[in-house]
Amino acid sequence: MKNEKEILNSVEKLITMYKKGELGGEVMPEDANPQLKKCSLENYLYFTLPMALNYQRNSYTLWESANKTYQDEETKFVFNPKICLEKSFLEVQQALTKYKVALQKQKQTEIWMSLCRTFVELFDGDVRKLFTFLDNDVDRIRNFIQK
C-alpha cells in the first residue's frame, strides 16, 4: 500500500499535468452523471458497473447512456446489484439496452450480472468493500476484476 507522501506526490503530479492541459479536454465523458454524493455507495456503483462494458466504444456515449439509464426509474435498478439479481435476465437485458449501456445484448448482460453477483456474494453488494479489501491498489483491483 502506498504511503501518504507517495499518494500526495502522485496527486501533485496530476494537478500539474491538468493545469498544463496534458490530461485532455476539460469536459470528461463521465461528467455526464447524476451528481450523486461522492462517498455514497450509489456513486461508486454508478462509476464502476458501466466500466465493465467500456471496451472499444465511445466513452462519451457510454456515460450518456449510463446517465439516462440511471435517471429512468424503470431502468435505474441495474445500478443496484442486489435488486439487479432479483430480476430476470430478460428484465436486466431490456434495462441495459434501452439506452444502449449494453450494445451486445447477451454478452454484456451476462458480464453485468456476473459483476453484480460477485459484488453481492463477496462484498454484500458494496463495491467499496472490494476496494478496501484490496487496499485501493488499482493493479490488484484490476487483476481481481479480470479473474
- Closest by Cα among 15, 127, 143 to 82: 127
| Pairwise CA distance, residues 81 & 114, whole Å | 10
| Pairwise CA distance, residues 69 & 79, whole Å | 9
Angle at 79 between CA 76 and CA 32, to 5 degrees: 75
Least confident segment among 14-18, 21-25, 84-88: 21-25
| pLDDT tens-digit map of 100-144 | 999 999 999 999 999 999 999 999 999 999 999 999 999 999 898
Mean pLDDT of 82-86: 98
Task: Categorize the per-residue pLDDT at 25 as very low, low, confident or very high, splitting at 50, 70 and 90.
Answer: low
In the numeric block, the cell 435505474 is attached to 76
Structural domain spans, the chain:
28-146
DSSP string, 68-106: HHHHSTTTGGGG-HHHHHHS-HHHHHHHHHHTTS-SSHH
Task: Categorize the per-residue pLDDT at 63 as very low, low, confident or very high, splitting at 50, 70 and 90.
Answer: very high
